[in-house]
Amino acid sequence: MEGSCYVPMRDVLDEVQKHHVAVGHFNVGDFVTLKAVFTSALELNVPAIVGVSEGERQFIGDRSIAAMVRSLRKEFGFRLFLNADHVHSPKSVRRAVAPPSLDYCR
């Protein structure tokens, strides 16, 4: 990943497949767990996906978790992705996709 811009997940999946590497998905419920997942992925130099369930997003806040992931991605220039895991209603989907836009490379 160059600089702090967002790289589409499809590009990352294509890249890791060539190297026979998996992209892990880890559910997080707070910043401590997010930081542990991120630190491990950074140390192993593999992209990671953090999943946040509806309940976890209600606890943390949609914008807060999006800001934390974005901040780690920008600060370290690392491929970290956010997944709204186990979304149960159209309203919850709208809330999950409403956080600030990403900085795309293209």
Domain range list for the chain: 9-97
Give the whole-angstrom CA distance, residue 61 versus residue 68.
Answer: 11
- Other beta carbons within 10 angstroms of residue 28's beta carbon come to 23
Give the CATH number of domain 9-97; options: 3.30.70, 3.90.1070, 3.40.50, 2.60.40.
Answer: 3.40.50
One-letter amino acid at 35 equals: K
pLDDT of residue 104: 43
Q: At 19, is the pLDDT very low, low, confident or very high (cuts 50, 70, 90)?
A: very high
Share of the chain above pLDDT 70, in %: 85
pLDDT value at 57 more than 60: yes
Predicted confidence (pLDDT) per residue in 91-103, tens digit: 777 776 765 555 5
Looking at residue 93, its pLDDT comes to: 75
